[in-house]
Amino acid sequence: MASSSTDSTPFEILIVEDEYLIGMELVQILEDSGYVVVGPIATVSAAVATIERNAPSACILDVNLRGEISAPVADCLKAKHVPFFLSSGYKQETINQEPAFSGITNIGKPAKPEQLVSALDLLLKA
């Protein structure tokens, strides 16, 4: 379980994911771990607008959103100092081609629930 449940204000995690059932499972895993979930948001423009409006504590970011690479979302998260990791089925060398994703961990898709939660805990502690 995430440490978030003991904090006064729970962490808000933004999920940016366009695959319907994958997004649904992410929501369930995070909510079961005591996080407050924002999303899933399925498009680049909507994700950027959401982050601009209210920066979340952390973000789980899909790389391909309905055919669009989510680099602008990554740039926006970096600008707002929001820690995030990628959730993508792409190979690492494909991801590396996009400078916006440099230095960002990809937990893979699908990630195991416990892996996801521990990666998130680590991200929030940093």
**Is residue 67 a contact point for other proteins (CB under 8 A)?**
yes
Q: How far apart are CA 50 and CA 38, in angstroms?
A: 9
| Pairwise CA distance, residues 118 & 18, whole Å | 23
The reply on whether position 45 binds other proteins by CB under 8 A is no
Q: How far is the CB of 107 from other proteins (least distance, A)?
A: 12
Stretch that binds other proteins, among 22-30, 44-52, 73-81, 115-123 (CB under 8 A): 22-30
Q: Which of 12, 25, 75, 121 binds other proteins (CB under 8 A)?
A: 25
Compute the least distance from the CB of residue 20 to other proteins, in Å: 5
